[in-house]
Amino acid sequence: MALITVSSPHTTRKGNHTGAFMRQVLYATLPGIAVLTWLFGYGTLINLSFAVIVALLTEALVLKIRGRDIRFYLSDYSAVITAVLLAIAIPPTSPWWLTLVGVTFAIVIAKQLYGGLGMNPFNPAMVGYVLLLISFPAEMTRWVAPNEAHSFSTSLQLFFGHIGDVDALTGATPLDTWRTWAGNAEQLASHPILHGNVAGMGWEWVNLAFLLGGLYLIARGIITWHIPAGVLAGVLAMALPFWLIDDIRYGDPLFHLFSGATMLGAFFIATDPVSAATSRNGRLIFGFLIGVLVWVIRTFGGYPDAMAFAVLLLNLSAPTIDYYTQPRTYGHKAAKRGARK
């Protein structure tokens, strides 16, 4: 009789599987994806499906080259998540090659070359996004005006690169509009896109949907509240005082919270565990600084939205934040702070 001899503990929580965690994250993106499709047409869905296929194929390829068990590593769903997040973040009008380049770069360079899941210092989806934003700024800012959702055929045409009359098909986002007209009260008042029910028109719904998904993740214990709360608090902490000082130049807090990628970033991107800070206080700080940076770049930087840059910058600082935010261990008088060796 062969008895199993292993180290304790001898039991683990039912359903302990990284893949299960990741699947929950995917489920939580569904409301957001639905709203994006409703507002902007099928472009998002088409790109998303393509991105997932590309991600799985490249990941499998690299795993094969690295001599790893392909099925085992694909089952952690991390590649799928990267693909989905990237596909959500890029405009629905994106042609296939944009998605292809972004996803391949994210999977191969930003993740696998660093050693695969768990080893990547940067959020792969955001690395892919920033690459695209810098290399193809025109394509990456070609959003659709809300409520003018493209038909399936238009979306497909766009996907295959038949741009046609671009201007007729696209419109500026609320953040773009604000950036252009900040400080000009008349112009700001005359753009309907800035005047939705909560914040910028259309995008308020996108953000609400991602907020909903994020709350689901917190409720399921997939993520903790620290990073999202930090991000939102960071945005708020910057937006509110400036808005109180000059509401013509600076957008109001609600506008910032419910525009662009705020909620997506707070709940789905900044919370990528691999590249975020891990201690509780560390996560709060990590999130808060992302929020601050988002506002700063949106207001003073050269890009209308800033989530990707903010997240990557803080990814860079995560190990340091972790180092200085160790909790106080039981039986110790004070928490250890990094400086000592």
Partner 1 sequence: MNSPLTIKSPLAKSAKSAKNSRPIFDFHGGIHPPENKVQSNSTPIQTLALPPLLILPLNMHIGAPAKPIVNIGDRVLKGQKLADANGVVSVPVHAPTSGTITAIGPRAVQHPSGLDAPCIVLQPDGEDRWTERHPIHNWRECSPSTLITRIREAGVAGMGGAGFPSAVKVNLKQGTQIQQLVLNAVECEPYITADDLLMRERADDIVRGIHILQHLIKPHETLIGIEDNKPLAIAAMRAAIENAEKNNGGSIEVVVVPTKYPSGGEKQLIQLLTGKEVPSSGIPAQVGVVCQNIGTALAMYRAIAFGEPLISRITTITGDAVKQPGNVEVLIGTPVSHLLNHAGVSDDKLGRLIMGGPMMGFTLHALDIPVVKTSNCVIAASKEELPEPATEQPCIRCGSCAEVCPADLLPQQLYWYSKTSDLERAQQYNLMDCIECGACAYVCPSNIPLVQYYRFAKGEVRHQVAEQNKADKARERFEARQARIDKELAEKEARRQARLEASRQKALGQVDAKADASNNIDIKAIKAASLAASSAYKAAVKALKTAQAEEADASEVAALSAQVDQLKAAADQAKAAVRDAASAPTSSSGGASDTAAATQSDIHMKALKSAALEASSAYKTAVKAMKTAEENGDGNVAELRAHADTLKSTADAAKAAVRDANTGTAMPAPTSTIDPVETLKKAVLDASSAYKAAVKSVKEAELSDADNLAELRSEADVLKRKADQLKVDLRDAKAAAPNVVKESTTTEAATATQEHAPNTADPIAERAAKMKALKTAYNSANKIWKEANAALERGIREGAENIDERRAKVDLLKARAEGTRAELNELVDQAKAGIRASGSDLKSLKLEAARAESALGSKIKELEEAKKSADEERINVLYQERDMLKREAELAANALKSAVDEQGLSDV
Contact residues for partner 1 (CB under 8 A)?
Answer: 1, 3-13, 16-18, 20-21, 72, 76, 78, 116-119, 224, 273-274, 276, 278-280, 283, 322, 326-333, 336, 340-341
Count of beta carbons in the 10 Å neighbourhood of residue 300: 8
The residue (of 273 and 301) whose beta carbon lies closer to partner 1 is 273
78 or 262: CB nearest partner 1: 78
Q: Which long-range contacts (CB under 8 A, 24 or more apart) does 246-255 make?
A: 248/182, 248/183, 248/184, 248/185, 248/188, 249/182, 249/183, 250/182, 250/299, 251/178, 251/182, 251/298, 251/299, 254/198, 254/199, 255/174, 255/178, 255/194, 255/199, 255/200
With respect to partner 1, which residue has the nearer C-beta, 157 or 281? 281
Q: At what angle do helices 96-104 and 78-89 cross, to 10 degrees?
A: 140
Q: Which is nearer to partner 1, 83 or 169 (CB)?
A: 83
- Which residue lies nearer to partner 1 by CB, 16 or 197? 16
Task: Please report how close the Cβ of residue 248 comes to partner 1 at its closest, in angstroms.
Answer: 42
Distance in Å, CB of 333 to partner 1, minimum: 7
- CB 24, min distance to partner 1, A: 10
Contact 78, 22 (CB under 8 A): yes
| Region at 167 (left for phi over 0; alpha for psi -120 to 50; beta for the rest) | alpha
Cα distance between residue 130 and residue 295, in whole Å: 17
**Shortest distance, position 214 Cβ to partner 1, whole Å:** 16
Q: Using an 8 Å Cβ cutoff, are 48 and 88 in contact? A: yes
- Shortest Cβ distance from residue 186 to partner 1 (Å)? 49
Q: What does the block give as tokens for 42?
A: 């099928």
Q: How far is the CB of 58 from partner 1 (least distance, A)?
A: 18
Nearer to partner 1, 127 or 276 (CB): 276
* CA distances from residue 237 to 6, 131, 175, 253, 288 in whole angstroms, order as listed: 51, 29, 19, 9, 9
Between residues 209 and 284, which has the closer beta carbon with respect to partner 1? 284
Residue nearer to partner 1 on the CB measure, 162 or 332: 332
Shortest separation between residue 21's beta carbon and partner 1, angstroms: 5
Cβ at position 23, least distance to partner 1 in Å: 11
- DSSP helix/strand/coil, 41: strand
Considering only CA atoms, which of 216, 205, 200 is closest in space to residue 255? 200
Residue 274: which of 231, 319, 306, 230 has the closest Cα? 319
Tell me which residue of 189, 203, 293 sits closest to 255, measured CA to CA.
Answer: 203
